[in-house]
Protein backbone atom coordinates (compact mmCIF):
# COMPACT_ATOMS: atom_id res chain seq x y z
CA UNK A 1 0.00 0.00 0.00
CA UNK A 2 2.83 2.43 0.86
CA UNK A 3 3.96 4.70 -1.91
CA UNK A 4 6.99 6.89 -1.10
CA UNK A 5 6.32 9.24 -4.02
CA UNK A 6 2.83 9.93 -2.84
CA UNK A 7 4.09 10.44 0.73
CA UNK A 8 6.52 13.13 -0.33
CA UNK A 9 3.76 14.74 -2.35
CA UNK A 10 1.76 15.24 0.84
CA UNK A 11 4.68 16.87 2.61
CA UNK A 12 5.40 19.18 -0.27
CA UNK A 13 1.86 20.47 -0.52
CA UNK A 14 1.66 20.88 3.26
CA UNK A 15 4.89 22.74 3.62
CA UNK A 16 4.96 25.35 0.90
CA UNK A 17 1.89 27.50 1.76
CA UNK A 18 2.72 27.45 5.48
CA UNK A 19 6.31 28.54 4.96
CA UNK A 20 5.58 31.33 2.52
CA UNK A 21 2.88 32.82 4.74
CA UNK A 22 4.72 32.20 8.00
CA UNK A 23 7.71 34.34 6.99
CA UNK A 24 5.89 37.64 7.43
CA UNK A 25 4.22 36.82 10.80
CA UNK A 26 5.24 37.04 14.44
CA UNK A 27 6.47 33.74 16.00
CA UNK A 28 3.36 33.04 18.20
CA UNK A 29 0.96 33.81 15.41
CA UNK A 30 3.12 31.80 13.05
CA UNK A 31 2.87 28.73 15.27
CA UNK A 32 -0.88 29.16 15.54
CA UNK A 33 -1.22 29.57 11.85
CA UNK A 34 0.95 26.55 11.23
CA UNK A 35 -1.26 24.54 13.54
CA UNK A 36 -4.46 25.75 11.86
CA UNK A 37 -3.22 24.92 8.39
CA UNK A 38 -2.31 21.40 9.49
CA UNK A 39 -5.76 20.94 11.04
CA UNK A 40 -7.36 22.16 7.82
CA UNK A 41 -5.35 19.73 5.75
CA UNK A 42 -6.15 16.88 8.13
CA UNK A 43 -9.87 17.64 8.00
CA UNK A 44 -9.72 17.84 4.22
CA UNK A 45 -7.94 14.50 4.01
CA UNK A 46 -10.44 12.89 6.38
CA UNK A 47 -13.40 14.29 4.45
CA UNK A 48 -11.97 12.85 1.28
CA UNK A 49 -11.38 9.51 2.91
CA UNK A 50 -14.88 9.14 4.35
CA UNK A 51 -16.82 10.92 1.61
CA UNK A 52 -17.83 7.62 0.01
CA UNK A 53 -19.21 5.36 2.72
CA UNK A 54 -19.64 2.45 0.32
CA UNK A 55 -15.91 1.99 -0.16
CA UNK A 56 -13.69 -0.09 2.03
CA UNK A 57 -10.72 1.60 3.61
CA UNK A 58 -8.20 0.14 1.21
CA UNK A 59 -10.20 1.32 -1.79
CA UNK A 60 -10.43 4.78 -0.30
CA UNK A 61 -6.72 4.74 0.28
CA UNK A 62 -6.11 3.68 -3.32
CA UNK A 63 -8.45 6.36 -4.66
CA UNK A 64 -6.91 8.95 -2.40
CA UNK A 65 -3.47 7.97 -3.62
CA UNK A 66 -4.68 8.47 -7.17
CA UNK A 67 -6.05 11.86 -6.17
CA UNK A 68 -2.68 12.80 -4.75
CA UNK A 69 -1.03 11.70 -7.98
CA UNK A 70 -3.22 14.19 -9.79
CA UNK A 71 -2.02 16.98 -7.54
CA UNK A 72 1.63 16.05 -7.96
CA UNK A 73 3.51 16.67 -11.16
CA UNK A 74 3.74 13.06 -12.26
CA UNK A 75 0.92 12.05 -14.57
CA UNK A 76 -2.72 12.39 -15.50
CA UNK A 77 -5.04 10.72 -13.02
CA UNK A 78 -6.80 7.47 -13.82
CA UNK A 79 -10.04 8.65 -12.31
CA UNK A 80 -11.88 11.78 -11.38
CA UNK A 81 -14.62 12.50 -8.90
CA UNK A 82 -17.85 12.40 -10.81
CA UNK A 83 -20.49 14.99 -9.88
CA UNK A 84 -23.43 12.58 -10.08
CA UNK A 85 -22.03 9.18 -9.29
CA UNK A 86 -19.60 8.15 -6.63
CA UNK A 87 -16.71 8.20 -9.04
CA UNK A 88 -15.91 7.27 -12.55
CA UNK A 89 -12.95 5.39 -13.82
CA UNK A 90 -11.45 6.63 -17.02
CA UNK A 91 -9.76 4.34 -19.46
CA UNK A 92 -7.58 5.63 -22.22
CA UNK A 93 -6.92 2.32 -23.96
CA UNK A 94 -9.46 0.59 -26.18
CA UNK A 95 -11.30 -2.52 -25.11
CA UNK A 96 -9.92 -4.69 -27.88
CA UNK A 97 -6.25 -4.47 -27.08
CA UNK A 98 -4.51 -7.50 -25.55
CA UNK A 99 -5.15 -7.97 -21.84
CA UNK A 100 -2.76 -6.40 -19.41
CA UNK A 101 -2.50 -8.37 -16.21
CA UNK A 102 -1.02 -6.10 -13.60
CA UNK A 103 -0.82 -6.56 -9.89
CA UNK A 104 -2.96 -4.30 -7.78
CA UNK A 105 -6.62 -3.56 -7.41
CA UNK A 106 -7.45 -2.28 -10.86
CA UNK A 107 -6.49 -5.40 -12.74
CA UNK A 108 -7.35 -8.15 -10.32
CA UNK A 109 -8.65 -11.60 -11.20
CA UNK A 110 -12.31 -10.70 -11.68
CA UNK A 111 -11.60 -7.86 -14.05
CA UNK A 112 -12.92 -9.36 -17.27
CA UNK A 113 -10.57 -7.58 -19.63
CA UNK A 114 -7.75 -9.68 -18.26
CA UNK A 115 -9.21 -12.45 -20.42
CA UNK A 116 -9.80 -12.84 -24.13
CA UNK A 117 -12.65 -14.29 -26.12
CA UNK A 118 -11.38 -17.40 -27.86
CA UNK A 119 -14.79 -18.04 -29.43
CA UNK A 120 -16.90 -15.01 -30.06
CA UNK A 121 -20.07 -14.55 -32.05
CA UNK A 122 -19.30 -10.88 -32.02
CA UNK A 123 -21.75 -9.85 -34.72
CA UNK A 124 -24.92 -11.56 -33.49
CA UNK A 125 -26.37 -8.30 -32.19
CA UNK A 126 -25.55 -6.38 -35.37
CA UNK A 127 -28.13 -7.88 -37.71
CA UNK A 128 -31.00 -7.55 -35.22
CA UNK A 129 -31.15 -5.50 -32.05
CA UNK A 130 -32.36 -7.78 -29.26
CA UNK A 131 -34.84 -6.63 -26.70
CA UNK A 132 -33.48 -9.26 -24.34
CA UNK A 133 -30.28 -11.32 -24.30
CA UNK A 134 -30.22 -14.48 -22.20
CA UNK A 135 -26.67 -15.26 -21.12
CA UNK A 136 -26.25 -18.79 -19.82
CA UNK A 137 -23.03 -19.73 -18.04
CA UNK A 138 -22.42 -23.42 -18.64
CA UNK A 139 -19.51 -25.83 -18.34
CA UNK A 140 -17.85 -26.58 -21.70
CA UNK A 141 -18.63 -30.31 -21.54
CA UNK A 142 -22.31 -29.79 -20.70
CA UNK A 143 -23.76 -30.18 -24.20
CA UNK A 144 -26.88 -31.82 -22.75
CA UNK A 145 -27.85 -28.68 -20.83
CA UNK A 146 -27.27 -26.49 -23.87
CA UNK A 147 -29.31 -28.76 -26.13
CA UNK A 148 -32.19 -28.86 -23.64
CA UNK A 149 -32.24 -25.04 -23.53
CA UNK A 150 -32.06 -24.83 -27.34
CA UNK A 151 -35.15 -27.04 -27.49
CA UNK A 152 -37.06 -25.17 -24.79
CA UNK A 153 -36.85 -21.59 -23.54
CA UNK A 154 -33.86 -20.77 -25.73
CA UNK A 155 -35.64 -21.83 -28.90
CA UNK A 156 -37.77 -18.80 -29.64
CA UNK A 157 -36.06 -15.83 -31.27
CA UNK A 158 -39.21 -13.70 -31.07
CA UNK A 159 -41.19 -13.70 -27.83
CA UNK A 160 -44.27 -11.53 -27.35
CA UNK A 161 -43.18 -9.62 -30.42
CA UNK A 162 -39.67 -8.91 -29.08
CA UNK A 163 -36.33 -10.19 -30.36
CA UNK A 164 -34.72 -12.50 -27.82
CA UNK A 165 -31.25 -13.97 -28.12
CA UNK A 166 -29.87 -16.91 -26.12
CA UNK A 167 -26.11 -17.39 -25.78
CA UNK A 168 -23.90 -19.69 -23.73
CA UNK A 169 -20.78 -18.58 -21.90
CA UNK A 170 -17.95 -21.06 -21.51
CA UNK A 171 -14.50 -20.93 -20.02
CA UNK A 172 -11.61 -23.26 -20.79
CA UNK A 173 -11.57 -26.83 -19.61
CA UNK A 174 -9.28 -29.81 -19.91
CA UNK A 175 -12.11 -32.30 -20.06
CA UNK A 176 -13.87 -30.83 -23.09
CA UNK A 177 -13.06 -31.47 -26.73
CA UNK A 178 -12.21 -28.12 -28.31
CA UNK A 179 -12.97 -29.40 -31.80
CA UNK A 180 -16.45 -30.57 -30.76
CA UNK A 181 -17.20 -27.20 -29.18
CA UNK A 182 -16.13 -25.50 -32.38
CA UNK A 183 -18.45 -27.71 -34.40
CA UNK A 184 -21.28 -27.07 -31.96
CA UNK A 185 -20.81 -23.35 -32.46
CA UNK A 186 -20.67 -23.70 -36.24
CA UNK A 187 -24.04 -25.39 -36.04
CA UNK A 188 -25.77 -23.06 -33.58
CA UNK A 189 -23.71 -19.84 -33.52
CA UNK A 190 -24.49 -19.39 -29.84
CA UNK A 191 -21.28 -20.15 -27.94
CA UNK A 192 -18.93 -17.61 -26.41
CA UNK A 193 -15.75 -18.87 -24.84
CA UNK A 194 -13.23 -16.92 -22.84
CA UNK A 195 -9.66 -17.71 -21.83
CA UNK A 196 -10.12 -18.33 -18.08
CA UNK A 197 -10.28 -21.78 -16.46
CA UNK A 198 -13.92 -22.82 -16.12
CA UNK A 199 -14.18 -23.84 -12.46
CA UNK A 200 -16.69 -23.29 -9.70
CA UNK A 201 -14.43 -20.84 -7.91
CA UNK A 202 -14.10 -18.85 -11.12
CA UNK A 203 -17.80 -18.17 -11.58
CA UNK A 204 -17.33 -14.51 -10.71
CA UNK A 205 -14.89 -14.21 -13.62
CA UNK A 206 -17.48 -15.91 -15.84
CA UNK A 207 -20.18 -13.44 -14.83
CA UNK A 208 -17.88 -10.49 -15.39
CA UNK A 209 -16.87 -11.83 -18.80
CA UNK A 210 -20.59 -12.05 -19.63
CA UNK A 211 -20.86 -8.38 -18.65
CA UNK A 212 -17.85 -7.52 -20.81
CA UNK A 213 -19.37 -9.33 -23.79
CA UNK A 214 -22.70 -7.51 -23.37
CA UNK A 215 -20.95 -4.16 -23.00
CA UNK A 216 -18.70 -4.57 -26.02
CA UNK A 217 -20.62 -6.87 -28.41
CA UNK A 218 -24.24 -6.13 -27.67
CA UNK A 219 -24.58 -2.62 -26.22
CA UNK A 220 -27.80 -1.92 -28.16
CA UNK A 221 -29.87 -4.61 -26.43
CA UNK A 222 -32.43 -3.24 -23.99
CA UNK A 223 -32.23 -5.92 -21.29
CA UNK A 224 -30.17 -8.97 -20.45
CA UNK A 225 -30.47 -11.84 -18.04
CA UNK A 226 -27.85 -14.06 -16.51
CA UNK A 227 -29.64 -17.35 -16.18
CA UNK A 228 -28.22 -20.68 -15.03
CA UNK A 229 -28.39 -23.73 -17.26
CA UNK A 230 -30.47 -25.75 -14.78
CA UNK A 231 -33.41 -23.38 -14.84
CA UNK A 232 -36.96 -23.49 -16.04
CA UNK A 233 -37.48 -20.04 -17.54
CA UNK A 234 -40.94 -18.88 -18.48
CA UNK A 235 -39.66 -16.58 -21.18
CA UNK A 236 -43.13 -15.27 -22.11
CA UNK A 237 -43.75 -14.08 -18.58
CA UNK A 238 -40.30 -12.55 -18.41
CA UNK A 239 -40.76 -10.53 -21.61
CA UNK A 240 -44.23 -9.46 -20.46
CA UNK A 241 -42.76 -8.32 -17.15
CA UNK A 242 -40.16 -6.21 -18.97
CA UNK A 243 -42.82 -4.74 -21.27
CA UNK A 244 -44.81 -3.44 -18.34
CA UNK A 245 -44.98 0.34 -18.23
CA UNK A 246 -42.88 1.66 -15.41
CA UNK A 247 -40.10 -0.92 -15.69
CA UNK A 248 -36.91 1.17 -15.62
CA UNK A 249 -34.77 1.24 -18.73
CA UNK A 250 -31.61 2.17 -16.87
CA UNK A 251 -29.87 1.02 -13.69
CA UNK A 252 -32.41 -1.77 -13.31
CA UNK A 253 -31.50 -5.09 -11.72
CA UNK A 254 -34.15 -7.49 -10.57
CA UNK A 255 -34.71 -11.12 -9.63
CA UNK A 256 -35.04 -12.91 -6.31
CA UNK A 257 -33.71 -10.38 -3.83
CA UNK A 258 -31.42 -11.44 -1.00
CA UNK A 259 -31.24 -9.10 1.97
CA UNK A 260 -28.69 -9.07 4.79
CA UNK A 261 -27.23 -12.42 3.83
CA UNK A 262 -24.42 -13.52 6.15
CA UNK A 263 -21.11 -14.46 4.58
CA UNK A 264 -20.48 -18.20 5.05
CA UNK A 265 -17.29 -18.75 7.06
CA UNK A 266 -17.55 -22.50 7.38
CA UNK A 267 -14.75 -24.01 5.33
CA UNK A 268 -16.85 -27.04 4.32
CA UNK A 269 -19.44 -24.94 2.59
CA UNK A 270 -19.72 -24.55 -1.15
CA UNK A 271 -20.21 -20.84 -0.45
CA UNK A 272 -17.26 -20.42 1.90
CA UNK A 273 -15.57 -17.06 1.56
CA UNK A 274 -12.45 -16.30 3.62
CA UNK A 275 -12.26 -13.02 5.50
CA UNK A 276 -9.25 -11.92 3.43
CA UNK A 277 -11.46 -11.98 0.36
CA UNK A 278 -14.51 -10.35 1.90
CA UNK A 279 -14.16 -8.89 5.40
CA UNK A 280 -17.74 -7.73 6.10
CA UNK A 281 -20.01 -10.25 7.85
CA UNK A 282 -22.91 -9.57 5.46
CA UNK A 283 -23.38 -9.16 1.73
CA UNK A 284 -25.05 -6.10 0.27
CA UNK A 285 -28.52 -6.69 -1.17
CA UNK A 286 -28.20 -8.87 -4.24
CA UNK A 287 -30.24 -10.95 -6.65
CA UNK A 288 -29.94 -14.73 -6.47
CA UNK A 289 -27.61 -16.04 -9.15
CA UNK A 290 -30.06 -18.57 -10.63
CA UNK A 291 -31.47 -15.81 -12.80
CA UNK A 292 -31.24 -12.05 -12.59
CA UNK A 293 -32.45 -9.53 -15.12
CA UNK A 294 -30.87 -6.16 -15.80
CA UNK A 295 -31.08 -3.16 -18.08
CA UNK A 296 -28.23 -3.40 -20.54
CA UNK A 297 -26.58 -0.13 -19.50
CA UNK A 298 -25.35 -1.88 -16.37
CA UNK A 299 -22.79 -4.33 -17.86
CA UNK A 300 -20.41 -1.53 -18.87
CA UNK A 301 -20.77 0.01 -15.42
CA UNK A 302 -20.06 -3.34 -13.75
CA UNK A 303 -16.94 -3.86 -15.86
CA UNK A 304 -15.62 -0.42 -14.93
CA UNK A 305 -16.40 -0.65 -11.23
CA UNK A 306 -15.00 -4.19 -10.96
CA UNK A 307 -11.54 -2.66 -11.18
CA UNK A 308 -11.87 -1.46 -7.62
CA UNK A 309 -13.84 -4.33 -6.12
CA UNK A 310 -11.78 -7.10 -4.67
CA UNK A 311 -12.91 -10.38 -6.20
CA UNK A 312 -14.61 -13.10 -4.23
CA UNK A 313 -16.10 -16.31 -5.50
CA UNK A 314 -19.82 -15.62 -4.97
CA UNK A 315 -20.79 -14.15 -8.33
CA UNK A 316 -24.29 -12.95 -7.45
CA UNK A 317 -23.13 -11.22 -4.27
CA UNK A 318 -20.27 -9.73 -6.28
CA UNK A 319 -22.81 -8.14 -8.62
CA UNK A 320 -24.59 -6.88 -5.49
CA UNK A 321 -21.30 -5.33 -4.46
CA UNK A 322 -20.92 -3.69 -7.87
CA UNK A 323 -24.42 -2.20 -7.49
CA UNK A 324 -23.57 -0.88 -4.05
CA UNK A 325 -20.35 0.72 -5.27
CA UNK A 326 -22.24 2.30 -8.14
CA UNK A 327 -24.63 3.80 -5.60
CA UNK A 328 -27.46 1.61 -6.93
CA UNK A 329 -29.61 -1.16 -5.49
CA UNK A 330 -31.54 -4.08 -6.96
CA UNK A 331 -35.27 -3.53 -7.48
CA UNK A 332 -37.99 -5.98 -6.46
CA UNK A 333 -39.75 -7.44 -9.50
CA UNK A 334 -43.36 -6.31 -10.12
CA UNK A 335 -44.46 -9.70 -8.76
CA UNK A 336 -41.73 -11.12 -6.52
CA UNK A 337 -43.48 -14.50 -6.35
CA UNK A 338 -42.58 -15.06 -10.02
CA UNK A 339 -38.91 -15.64 -9.17
CA UNK A 340 -38.85 -19.02 -7.51
CA UNK A 341 -35.95 -21.19 -6.50
CA UNK A 342 -36.46 -24.87 -5.64
CA UNK A 343 -39.75 -26.54 -6.26
CA UNK A 344 -41.01 -29.95 -5.24
CA UNK A 345 -43.29 -31.01 -8.04
CA UNK A 346 -44.20 -29.86 -11.54
CA UNK A 347 -47.55 -28.12 -11.76
CA UNK A 348 -48.78 -26.87 -15.11
CA UNK A 349 -50.83 -24.06 -13.63
CA UNK A 350 -48.01 -22.95 -11.34
CA UNK A 351 -45.43 -23.03 -14.13
CA UNK A 352 -47.62 -20.83 -16.32
CA UNK A 353 -47.44 -18.03 -13.77
CA UNK A 354 -43.81 -17.95 -12.68
CA UNK A 355 -40.65 -16.72 -14.38
CA UNK A 356 -37.97 -18.98 -12.83
CA UNK A 357 -37.66 -22.30 -11.08
CA UNK A 358 -34.50 -24.27 -10.39
CA UNK A 359 -34.69 -27.78 -11.84
CA UNK A 360 -32.69 -30.94 -11.32
CA UNK A 361 -31.93 -32.23 -14.80
CA UNK A 362 -32.12 -31.35 -18.47
CA UNK A 363 -34.70 -34.13 -18.88
CA UNK A 364 -36.96 -32.38 -16.40
CA UNK A 365 -36.66 -29.18 -18.37
CA UNK A 366 -37.60 -30.88 -21.64
CA UNK A 367 -40.53 -32.76 -20.08
CA UNK A 368 -41.94 -29.82 -18.17
CA UNK A 369 -41.55 -27.54 -21.17
CA UNK A 370 -43.34 -30.00 -23.46
CA UNK A 371 -46.23 -30.13 -21.04
CA UNK A 372 -46.29 -26.40 -20.41
CA UNK A 373 -46.43 -25.72 -24.16
CA UNK A 374 -49.33 -28.12 -24.79
CA UNK A 375 -52.40 -26.29 -26.01
CA UNK A 376 -55.29 -25.78 -23.65
CA UNK A 377 -55.80 -23.93 -20.40
CA UNK A 378 -52.95 -24.03 -17.90
CA UNK A 379 -55.06 -23.87 -14.81
CA UNK A 380 -58.14 -25.88 -13.83
CA UNK A 381 -61.33 -24.03 -14.43
CA UNK A 382 -59.70 -21.22 -16.42
CA UNK A 383 -60.79 -20.45 -19.92
C1 LIG B 1 1.33 7.67 -9.08
O2 LIG B 1 2.19 8.05 -10.12
C3 LIG B 1 3.36 7.27 -10.24
C4 LIG B 1 4.26 7.88 -11.27
O5 LIG B 1 3.64 7.99 -12.52
C6 LIG B 1 2.97 5.83 -10.56
O7 LIG B 1 4.10 5.00 -10.68
C8 LIG B 1 2.09 5.29 -9.47
O9 LIG B 1 1.63 3.98 -9.80
C10 LIG B 1 0.89 6.20 -9.27
N11 LIG B 1 0.14 5.75 -8.10
C12 LIG B 1 -1.13 5.55 -8.13
C13 LIG B 1 -1.75 5.09 -6.85
O14 LIG B 1 -1.81 5.70 -9.12
C1 LIG C 1 -9.39 -19.18 -12.46
O2 LIG C 1 -8.95 -18.80 -13.75
C3 LIG C 1 -7.61 -18.37 -13.79
C4 LIG C 1 -7.35 -17.87 -15.19
O5 LIG C 1 -7.55 -18.88 -16.15
C6 LIG C 1 -6.69 -19.50 -13.38
O7 LIG C 1 -5.37 -19.05 -13.37
C8 LIG C 1 -7.09 -19.96 -11.98
O9 LIG C 1 -6.36 -21.11 -11.62
C10 LIG C 1 -8.56 -20.29 -11.90
N11 LIG C 1 -8.92 -20.46 -10.50
C12 LIG C 1 -9.52 -21.54 -10.06
C13 LIG C 1 -9.79 -21.59 -8.62
O14 LIG C 1 -9.87 -22.46 -10.79
- Assess whether pLDDT exceeds 80 at residue 335: yes
Would you say the CB of residue 313 lies under 6 angstroms from ligand 2?
Answer: no
Q: b/e for 307-337, b at 16 or more Cβ within 10 A?
A: bbbbbbbbbbbbbbbbbbbbebebbebeeee
235 falls in which pLDDT band (50, 70, 90)?
A: very high
Q: Rounded to an integer, what is the distance from CA 110 to the centroid of its chain?
A: 10
Would you say the CB of residue 251 lies under 6 angstroms from ligand 2?
Answer: no
pLDDT at residue 107, rounded to an integer? 54
Looking at all shown ligands, the one closest to residue 311's CA atom is 2
d(CA 2, CA 149): 51
- The residue whose CA has the least distance to atom 12 of ligand 1 is 66
Of residues 53 and 266, the one with the higher pLDDT is: 266
Would you say the CB of residue 277 lies under 6 angstroms from ligand 2?
Answer: no
Domain at 112-372, CATH homologous superfamily: Spore Coat Polysaccharide Biosynthesis Protein SpsA; Chain A (3.90.550.10)
- The residue whose CA has the least distance to atom 14 of ligand 1 is 66
Looking at all shown ligands, the one closest to residue 277's CA atom is 2
CA distance to 68, 168, 189, 213, 308, per residue, from 186 (Å) = 51, 14, 6, 19, 37
pLDDT at residue 322, rounded to an integer? 96
pLDDT at residue 69, rounded to an integer? 43
Looking at all shown ligands, the one closest to residue 116's CA atom is 2
SS3 content of the chain, % helix, strand, coil (to 5): 40, 15, 45
Would you say the CB of residue 116 lies under 6 angstroms from ligand 2?
Answer: no
- The residue whose CA has the least distance to atom 8 of ligand 1 is 69
Would you say the CB of residue 173 lies under 6 angstroms from ligand 2?
Answer: no
Q: Rounded to an integer, what is the distance from CA 157 to the centroid of its chain?
A: 25
Percentage of the chain beyond pLDDT 70 is 75
- Assess whether pLDDT exceeds 60 at residue 19: no
Give the model confidence (pLDDT) of 201-230 as tens digits.
899 999 999 999 999 999 999 999 999 999
- The residue whose CA has the least distance to atom 14 of ligand 2 is 199
14 falls in which pLDDT band (50, 70, 90)?
A: very low
Comparing 22-26, 105-109, 244-248, 257-261, the range with the smallest average pLDDT is 22-26
Domain ranges for the chain: 112-372
pLDDT at residue 111, rounded to an integer? 82
Of residues 235 and 67, the one with the higher pLDDT is: 235
- Ligand 1 site residues (CB inside 6 A) read 3, 5, 65-66, 69, 74-75
Comparing 30-44, 144-158, 237-251, 365-379, the range with the smallest average pLDDT is 30-44
Looking at all shown ligands, the one closest to residue 99's CA atom is 2
- Assess whether pLDDT exceeds 60 at residue 331: yes
Give the model confidence (pLDDT) of 179-207 as tens digits.
999 999 999 999 999 999 999 989 999 99
Interval between CA 365 and ligand 2 midpoint (Å): 31
pLDDT at residue 65, rounded to an integer? 52
- Assess whether pLDDT exceeds 90 at residue 63: no
263 falls in which pLDDT band (50, 70, 90)?
A: very high
Q: What value does the mean pLDDT take over residues 119-130?
A: 94
pLDDT at residue 144, rounded to an integer? 97
Would you say the CB of residue 286 lies under 6 angstroms from ligand 2?
Answer: no
Atom of ligand 2 nearest to the CA of 201: 13
d(CA 250, CA 272): 33
Would you say the CB of residue 160 lies under 6 angstroms from ligand 2?
Answer: no
Per the DSSP assignment, residues forming a β-bridge with 68 are: none
Would you say the CB of residue 101 lies under 6 angstroms from ligand 2?
Answer: no
Atom of ligand 1 nearest to the CA of 77: 14
Comparing 69-83, 176-190, 344-358, the range with the smallest average pLDDT is 69-83
87 falls in which pLDDT band (50, 70, 90)?
A: very low
- Assess whether pLDDT exceeds 70 at residue 380: yes
- Assess whether pLDDT exceeds 60 at residue 23: no
- Assess whether pLDDT exceeds 70 at residue 50: no
Give the model confidence (pLDDT) of 289-315 as tens digits.
999 999 999 999 999 999 889 889 999
- Assess whether pLDDT exceeds 90 at residue 59: no
Amino acid sequence: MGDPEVGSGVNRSKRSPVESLGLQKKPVFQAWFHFLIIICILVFVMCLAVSDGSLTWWERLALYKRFLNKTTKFQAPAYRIHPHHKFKLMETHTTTEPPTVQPGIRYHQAYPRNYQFVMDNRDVCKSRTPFLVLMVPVAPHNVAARDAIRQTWGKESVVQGEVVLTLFMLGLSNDADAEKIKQENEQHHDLIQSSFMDTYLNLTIKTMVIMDWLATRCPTAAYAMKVDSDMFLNIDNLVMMLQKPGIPKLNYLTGMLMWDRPVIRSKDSKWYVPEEMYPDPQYPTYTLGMGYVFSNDLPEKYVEISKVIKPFNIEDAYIGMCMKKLGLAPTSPPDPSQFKAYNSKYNRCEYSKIITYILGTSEELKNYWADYKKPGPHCEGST
